[in-house]
Amino acid sequence: MPTTYSDLMANVRSSIREVTLGDLKRRLDEKEPITLIDVREKEEHRAGYIPGAISIPRGFLEIQVEQKVPDRAAKIVAYCAGGTRSALAAKTLQDLGYTNVESANPGFTRWKDLGYPVEAPPQLTDAQRDRYSRHLLLPEVGEVGQAKLLSARVLLLGAGGLGSPAALYLAAAGVGTIGLCDADVVDASNLQRQILHATSRVGEPKVDSAEKALRDLNPDVKVVKFQERLDSSNVDRIFEGFDVIVDGCDNFPTRYLVNDASVWKKKPVVHGSIFRFEGQVTTFLAGEGPCYRCLYPEPPPPHLAPSCQEAGVLGILPGVVGVIQATEAIKLILGRGTPLIGRLLTYDSLRMKFGELRLRRDKTCPVCGENPTIKEYIDYEGFCTIPT
């Protein structure tokens, strides 16, 4: 005998558990760990949703739910506009092995009429939804996370080897404002590794060359240029308003200056460095881990730390390190994952091997320690014994 729609829905409702909206709100108010799944279409979800809900349209439920909700024992409440699609979704989830599933009845329309809490996702344009579509598919990013990226402000110190890949990937990811601090001009010898620049722009200021590349890659990005060398007289002005600092500096005086300023301003710094075939990355955040001075209380003698100009560098190496720096910056913006705070990631390109070292905060550190002795900017050139 053919089954009618009424028979189908009666059979579905008899095999699932349903929850009233009042009970659902009470449980959410009591902070019960519930995974809300909004099975309406994307257009419906964009008009408003129950706070904390994951959007998985009914037609994509079987395809996406295992990725977005891997725990089959999780408490799940599915909802739609009126309670029908969510009932079908709950039955599907049970068939997929989810053991603690309920359907909200009635659905979101009544929830909204009752004056219960409703959130609306950030309003991205159609062009932005297309450009960042792969981000929007990630539950760890989604439209809310993409909006965070678009409103974020990241400052790159240096538009050279490390700044080039970091800037390109931050721009591609949709970081809304990228600051570039570099006083240098593009030289032909830069092009072996500094992929922001091009032969046609040799002789141009690096910040101007970088702006052209970033704007061409992503018109959403605003580029703020500082064609100047970072020092004690301008660091406060340049750091102002930025959320994350990506440090691609190639000299010790600037690294110590960046450290001291970031500790006092409590700004996270994603530090990267390269030498010949090796690189390293870590993230410094005042109060949550060591600072640069905890690692290097004093700079090494110049003859033990030659620059890339003196020692050379594998052209591909900064690409790996700079991309890791960009990844750290995006994690900090999104508040996802585990940053490299208190950890130093090392990379040996010849052996193709990564390593990790634990870093400890020095209680006697003159800047971030319990009794700091350095409370204002110092003569960093003199401290590093490098002639001005």
- Residue 36's nearest CA partner among 21, 46, 47 is 21
How many domains does one find in the chain? 2
Instruction: Say whether both 108 and 187 belong to one domain.
Output: no
Instruction: Say whether both 234 and 298 belong to one domain.
Output: yes
Give domain status of residue 66, yes or no.
yes
Look up the CATH number of the domain holding residue 116: 3.40.250.10
pLDDT in the model for residue 305 = 57
Give domain status of residue 138, yes or no.
no
Sign of the CA dihedral 79, 82, 87, 89? negative
Instruction: Say whether both 113 and 166 belong to one domain.
Output: no
Instruction: Say whether both 86 and 157 belong to one domain.
Output: no
User: What distance in Å separates the CA atoms of residue 181 and residue 239, rounded to the nearest whole number?
Assistant: 10
pLDDT in the model for residue 304 = 58
* Successive 10-residue mean pLDDT values, the chain, 388 residues: 84 95 97 97 92 94 94 97 96 97 96 95 90 91 93 97 97 98 96 96 98 96 97 97 95 95 97 96 95 90 60 92 98 97 97 96 94 93 70
**Amino acid at the residue 386:** I
Give domain status of residue 134, yes or no.
no
Instruction: Say whether both 201 and 241 belong to one domain.
Output: yes
- φ, ψ of residue 177 in degrees (nearest 5): -130, 125
Q: How would you classify residue 385: left for phi > 0, otherwise alpha for psi between -120 and 50, otherwise beta?
A: left
Domain membership of residue 283 as a residue range: 152-383
Give domain status of residue 255, yes or no.
yes
Instruction: Say whether both 157 and 82 belong to one domain.
Output: no
User: What distance in Å separates the CA atoms of residue 176 and residue 96, rounded to the nearest whole number?
Assistant: 40
Going through 189-296 in order, the beta strands assigned E by DSSP cover 222-226, 244-247, 269-275, 278-284
Instruction: Say whether both 181 and 330 belong to one domain.
Output: yes
Instruction: Say whether both 101 and 174 belong to one domain.
Output: no
pLDDT in the model for residue 387 = 47
3-state secondary structure 269-310: EEEEEEEECEEEEEEECCCCCCCHHHHCCCCCCHHHCCCHHH
Q: Is the pTM here over 0.95, yes or no?
A: no
Q: Which of 103, 121, 139 is the last residue of a domain?
A: 121
Instruction: Say whether both 193 and 327 belong to one domain.
Output: yes
Give domain status of residue 101, yes or no.
yes
Instruction: Say whether both 197 and 272 belong to one domain.
Output: yes
Look up the CATH number of the domain holding residue 330: 3.40.50.720
Point out which residues pair with 35 in neighbouring strands: 76
Cβ distance 103 to 89 under 8 Å?
Answer: yes
Length of the chain: 388
pLDDT in the model for residue 312 = 85
Give domain status of residue 140, yes or no.
no
Instruction: Say whether both 22 and 110 belong to one domain.
Output: yes
Instruction: Say whether both 176 and 87 belong to one domain.
Output: no
Give domain status of residue 139, yes or no.
no
Give domain status of residue 131, yes or no.
no
How many other C-beta atoms are found inside a 10 Å radius of the C-beta of residue 335?
A: 10
- Residue 87's nearest CA partner among 178, 202, 10 is 10
